[in-house]
Amino acid sequence: MRTQVGIIGAGPSGLLLSQLLHLQGIDTVVLERHSRDYVLGRIRAGVLEHGFADLMREAQVSDRMDAEGEIHDGFDIAYDGKRHRVDLKGLTGGNTVIVYGQTELTRDLYEGRDRMGGVVVHNAEDVTPHAFDGNGSPYLTYRLGEAVHRVDCDFIVGCDGFHGVSRTSIPKDVLKEFETVYPIGWLGVLSRTPPVSKELIYVNHERGFALCSLRSQVLSRYYVQCTLDDNVEDWSDDRFWAELIARLPADAAATIVTGPSIEKSIAPLRSYVAEPMRYRNLFLAGDAAHIVPPTGARGLNSAASDIYYLYHAMVDHYRKGDATGLDRYSERALARVWKGQRFSWWMTRLLHRFPDANDFDRRLQKTELDYLFSSKAAMRSLAENYVGLPF
């Protein structure tokens, strides 16, 4: 096979880039390690910035998101038994977020690729990028059963998430890694129950963090902070609901509707950035290059900003023969990535109870929360970051 851009990974980053480039007449092939059902079975992000939504519109896959996604003007932070509203719309001069699940968004992107006859190869094993160091033409190889296949291309884009093959193919002496790991996890439950609140509630409680989120008015998504030793099997539905209720403010605890979980999983919390995001003819985008703890809802949104820069850079290259965007991709993408990192780290420190915190840390966290709730400037800074900084 011959294509212009060979993409590794059919998560939101890979599919969105493929769809956007296709609409500009640029050919792509996407290689995905898992089956389509597996990709669509992952329950992850739920909160989208408008910048992301605009990209979905540009990719002509936004009809369902625009019809079914919920616009949220704000959310609550619960602390010390009180709820404090973060008025996103008022504080940012009209900006909001869209609550629409990553699963749905990925399905929309797949349907877009299907409509246009886009090539997405599933169950591709041993995907390997070759000759991307500028000597010769890049190509990808992969295995389907016994047969090894080859895709020749101009560029390779690694959209293969944190555990993918792209980043680790870059020479060790080129890549600089920045990382911090938090000594806590998130246990998430999806249940077919009406959400306890129309808007999200982030809870800082002495028993640990909790989050009440949703996918629709009949589908709730809840999280509680857990330990790194916890296993999903240790958490029966009854135990989960009891722990969530114990952390909620009284009004929410009294009205929450519980029910059987339809998905339950544990996610570790990590901050990670790899620099640079380009090595010669290999580009990294999304979780392949950076990970945030989920608290600030930045992960998917940071992936979208990478795709925005890379998409425009590729179009400039193919349409105008202008390589500036490609040459500046890493620098531009990383400038925004680091702002998302800062915000996610800050929100994570603000809202969780850390097992290694000392009295000073605890008093500082309380002071940070008191300051936030009493300062419009601090609230505005939170709101500006949560709705997403401009691309």
Q: Which of residues 220-259 bind ligand DHB (CB under 6 A)?
A: 221
Q: Which does 295 bind (CB under 5 to 8 A by kind): ligand FAD, ligand DHB, none?
A: ligand DHB
Candidates 85-93, 293-301, 312-320, 334-342: pick the segment binding ligand DHB (CB under 6 A): 293-301
Work out the angle between the directed axes of helices 299-315 and 12-23 (0-180°, nearest 10).
30
Of 39 and 379, nearer to ligand FAD (C-beta) is: 39
**Could you tell me which stretch among 39-47, 80-88, 156-164, 271-279 binds ligand DHB (CB under 6 A)?**
39-47
- Compose the 357-376 pattern: x for residues touching ligand DHB by CB under 6 A, - for all others: --------------------
Q: For binding to ligand FAD (CB under 6 A), which residues are involved? A: 8-14, 31-34, 39, 44-47, 102, 124, 127, 159-161, 163-165, 186, 188, 267, 286-287, 294, 297-301, 303
Span near ligand DHB by CB under 6 A; candidates 10-18, 45-53, 77-85, 151-159: 45-53
Q: What is the total residue count of the chain?
A: 391
Among 271, 295, 302, 305, binds ligand DHB (CB under 6 A): 295
Are 215 and 46 in contact by the 8 Å Cβ rule? The answer is yes
Shortest CA distance to 277 belongs to which of 248, 306, 300? 306
Identity of the residue, 129 or 376, whose beta carbon is nearer to ligand FAD in the bound complex: 129
Could you say which of ligand DHB, ligand FAD, none residue 232 binds, taking C-beta under 5 to 8 angstroms by partner kind? none
Q: Which amino acid is at 239?
A: R
Confirm or reject binding of residue 20 to ligand DHB (CB under 6 A): no
The CA-atom distances, in angstroms, between 297 and each of 225, 293, 331, 347 are 15, 8, 23, 10
Shortest Å distance, C-beta 45 to ligand FAD: 3
Among 28, 62, 213, 261, binds ligand DHB (CB under 6 A): 213
Residue with tokens 């291309």: 153
Minimum CB separation of residue 213 from ligand DHB in Å reads 3
Q: What is the DSSP letter of 4?
A: S
Binding residue (CB under 6 A) for ligand DHB from 10, 31, 47, 383: 47
Based on CB atoms, which residue is closest to ligand DHB, 170 or 382? 382
Q: Is 354 exposed, middle or buried (0-12, 13-18, 19+ CB in 10 A)?
A: middle
Binds ligand DHB (CB under 6 A): choice among 138, 164, 249, 294:
294
Task: Decide which of ligand FAD, ligand DHB, none touches 372; Cβ closer than 5 to 8 Å per partner kind.
Answer: none
Q: How many CA atoms lie within 13 A of 92 on its CB side?
A: 23
Q: Do β-strands 282-284 and 155-158 pair in parallel, antiparallel, or remain unpaired?
A: parallel
Angle between helices 324-351 and 376-387 (to 10 degrees): 130
Q: Between residues 278 and 298, which has the closer beta carbon with respect to ligand FAD?
A: 298
| Cβ 304 to ligand FAD shortest distance, Å | 8
Tokens 């989120």 locate to 213
Strand 282-284 relative to strand 210-216, pairing: unpaired
Residue 6 interacts, among ligand FAD, ligand DHB, none and using kind-specific CB cut-offs from 5 to 8 Å, with: none
The token pair at 160 is 């293969």
> Is residue 113 a contact partner of residue 17, using CB atoms and an 8 Å limit?
no
Nearest-angstrom CA–CA distance, 120 and 152: 15
Residue 169 touching ligand DHB (CB under 6 A): no
DSSP annotation string for 47-105: EE-HHHHHHHHHTT--HHHHHHPEEE--EEEEETTEEEEE-HHHHHTS--EEE--HHHH
Q: CB under 6 A: which stretch of 41-49, 85-93, 225-233, 369-377 binds ligand DHB?
A: 41-49
- Contact footprint for ligand DHB (CB under 6 A): 45-47, 200, 213, 221, 294-295, 297
